[in-house]
Chains A and B, each alone.
Chain A
């Protein structure tokens, strides 16, 4: 292999680096050749002593990837580093994949933690605002803990006076509305063995929903209306949980980074200090 072939092969193998990085490396090896030739060595001898340019390029790329990842710890840089190290044969992809899964898990956990903390913060601020300034009105935002739909729903819509209008086509269809003395309302609609009943308390919140069809029945009772206190408590719990999760992720991520840095750094030191 002569000088030109060596530099050309090296340049090709370094194609994944930026042009500036590649040029710097090529210039260094070109000047090494110049010095060696001036010293009376043959091109072939120098190329042989320098070793396989493809292998050399792999080491140089891995080194750059390590540097890039140390200056900016993004999953993209980590992936590039794992791929480069795998190319060296020191870390196979079988090891890189669990690391990336772990990383993905940590990312998901931090997103969950962040969301919890954010919702908690919003609830605490809301409750504080309700307690101090009376805004927003208790029914304007309702915490939906059913797990279905949005966490916070606009309660002012459902707290409006309901307009119930049922037309019965048969003799067994009827609707009964009972107003109690304390201001609560009970509504019952039935058709044969099917009944639907609903109880509303005086403040407009729904206390109980009951649906029956023969012996089948669904009853939702003790429906609580969430007020500022609930908001504050739930908010604080969310904030604490979210914060804890974020802190845990940070610490686990830190441990992963420390391990990777020492593991990969060691491997790179090994190859760089390697004797012929």
Chain B
């Protein structure tokens, strides 16, 4: 049950995570996967379809850049609307987490009530 919830949450949040990484610096697929998989379990094969979808949304653009190891790599960079999208998502995410936390760990709001107990 716990695992299922975590999977659901991850599904919803992975877009935001990719956009957040790209907000810090442009990147390419392998590097993105390494950064994501360092912190969370992801299916590496689905990152390409995910990037494709972000491109379709107009949040991410691509460009080619020479690499030291081999042929030119496809780099991803955030577009202006991508920056807006990730800013909004991050804000919504923090509000959501705060809401959930306040339910899970209720803070005693009234000192009188506390004394009465």
Contact = CB atoms under 8 A, between A and B. Distances in A.
B108 interface: no
Q: Which of A34, A38, A273, A274 has the most CB of B within 10 A?
A: A273
A274 B11 contact: yes
B96 interface: no
A84 interface: no
Contacts of B40: 275
Interface string A40-53: 00000000011111
Interface in A75-126: none
Contacts of B15: 273
Contacts of A52: 45
Interface string B42-55: 11111011101100
B25 to A, nearest CB: 16
B44 A51 contact: yes
A276 B42 contact: yes
B7 A275 contact: yes
Interface in A256-276: 268-276
B44 A25 contact: no
A49 B70 contact: no
Contacts of A59: 46, 49
A25 B49 CA distance: 9
A29 B50 contact: no
A181 to B, nearest CB: 82
A39 B67 CA distance: 13
A274 B28 contact: no
Interface in B1-40: 7, 10-12, 14-15, 28-31, 33-34, 40
Contacts of A28: 29, 48, 74
* Closest 7 A/B residue pairs (Cβ): A35-B30, A273-B11, A51-B45, A50-B45, A38-B69, A276-B43, A49-B44
**A interface SS class:** helix
A273 B12 contact: yes
B8 to A, nearest CB: 9
24 contacts: A28-B48, A31-B29, A31-B70, A31-B73, A32-B48, A35-B30, A39-B30, A49-B45, A50-B44, A50-B45, A51-B45, A56-B45, A60-B48, A268-B53, A272-B53, A273-B11, A273-B46, A274-B43, A275-B7, A275-B10, A275-B14, A275-B41, A275-B42, A275-B43
Interface residues of A, number: 30
A268 B33 CA distance: 20
Contacts of A273: 10-12, 14-15, 46, 50
Contact of B52 (A50, A63, A270, A275): A63
Nearest to B3: A275
A202 interface: no
B66 interface: no
Q: Which of A31, A34, A56, A67 has the most CB of B within 10 A?
A: A31
Contacts of B73: 31, 35
B11 A35 contact: no
A151 interface: no
B53 A32 contact: no
A38 B29 CA distance: 14
Contacts of A29: 48
A63 B49 contact: yes
